[in-house]
Amino acid sequence: MSPQIDEINITKSLSAEQAAPRDIADTLAEHKALKISRKNPDSWVIGCDQILVFEGEIFGKPASRDALKHSLSRLAGQTHRLITANVIYKDCKPQWRHIAISHMSMRPMSAADIDTYVAAYWQEVKHAAGGYHFERTPDIFSAVRGHWFDIMGLSIGPIIGFLNQIDTNNPYQNPKLAAVLGHPIAQSKSPRMHGHWLQKNGISGDYIAIDIPPAHFNDTLNMLFDVGFSGFNVTIPHKEQALAFADHMSSRAQRIGAANTLVKTDSGDIRAYNTDGYGFITNLSTQSETWQPKAGPALVLGAGGAARAILVALLEAGLPKIYLSNRTRARADDLIAEISDLIEVIDWQDKEDVLPEVFTVVNSTSLGMTGKAALEFDLTNINPHALVTDLIYAPLETQLLKDARARGCEVVGGIGMLLHQAVPGFEAWFGTRPEVDQELEALMLT
């Protein structure tokens, strides 16, 4: 609920009286809380305000694109203070107040960098003090001393401490934080999935998507852990960097050479896991009533990052042999050299030749995905006892799966892998093992 107070004139008046910036933030938060409390006297009302201070000057919301460029040119390469004030009112009387000060060190930015930033984010940041949203572009900072929720404007930990003093029978829990990191990341469905699990299990927490350019991955990751994150999912192009970043790695992540899950332990160590293979195998075992990995060879199409995880998972499940086919044979040759001599590379044009003998067929390429080229794959001679699976889930049933079903093969879609691979990370960060069910699948497909 917006209280619509006259922030500009209040700030000018207090500044003329030489009030300290923290007192200005506190006064603004109090004005907001009081205005709402007058309309809702029986409710607990939290008033919030933030002030950015650099070299003794208060930086407000940028009035124009040029004003934002000027602010960024002064803040770039420097450390400023972000003052967060929270005041709680009830019955039009103050009950509690808190001030948090975060120290934000911004990276140096050239004029071209600033122009690019303003062009990309002006509409989002024009109502933010200083002209940035830390949650959207944490990579523009080199270091931060503070907590995530303070920087977001709501000091959750202290607020919960106060509320728990009032009501000791039903204590609130401090929220935990996790995120998915990638570049780009706007397309990710992970926040929807984890948000569903948080709500369904009544867990206090948040899961968001954060875009991090590769050049700033390590520094930004360190910073996000420092401000309170429990861990991360990691996607393209950061999986190899995530593995190298960790203090410890699982044997599967080490063998695959990439990590998609990072967990901060109670001792502060960072552990890396790769759950793609777990998600793949769990999807097959839960969706198929007949699949036996040891029944015979498999054919895997593609030699990208997903293929690497699937090859390792299939070998660990006991497959006696795997045929690997990729449009660029050299990439497939490099991949098997790193994994196992139980994998044999066959030329792309010869991939149909092994269909009579394989019991598992996997498409890990993007061919057949909505908006991508079709997968040209003749299943005339496929073993009718083979299971065919496609990692693509848009469309839900690809042409490959339709063709395989028409040949009498059992088929498994790709959405389940996406859902199951997320389970171990959620459990590690939030302490509850979530359930993959039809409700979640339907949500993810909307």
Active site residues: 239
For 388-399, letters b (16+ CB in 10 Å) and e give: bbbbbbeeeebb
Omega cis (within 30) before 395: yes
Could you tell me which residues are beta bridge partners of residue 80? 104
To 5 degrees, how large is the angle CA 56–CA 61–CA 62? 100
Give the number of other Cβ atoms within 10 Å of residue 3's Cβ: 17
SS percent in the chain: helix, strand, coil, step 5: 45, 20, 35
Q: How far is residue 82's CA from residue 106's CA, in Å, rounded to a whole number?
A: 12
SS (H, E, C) 44-55: CEEEEEEEEEEC
Give how far Cα 176 sits from Cα of 248, 307, 350, Å. 22, 32, 50
Question: Which letter does DSSP use for residue 174 in this model?
Answer: P
C-alpha dihedral over 355, 358, 360, 363, to 10 degrees? Answer: -40
Q: How far is residue 179's CA from residue 273's CA, in Å, rounded to a whole number?
A: 15
Helix, strand or coil, per DSSP, at residue 220: helix
Q: Is 289 left (phi over 0), alpha (psi -120 to 50) or beta?
A: alpha
- Do residues 139 and 213 make contact, with C-beta atoms less than 8 angstroms apart? yes
Those residues whose C-beta lies under 8 Å from the C-beta of residue 40, and which sit 6 or more positions away, are none
Give the number of other Cβ atoms within 10 Å of residue 295's Cβ: 18
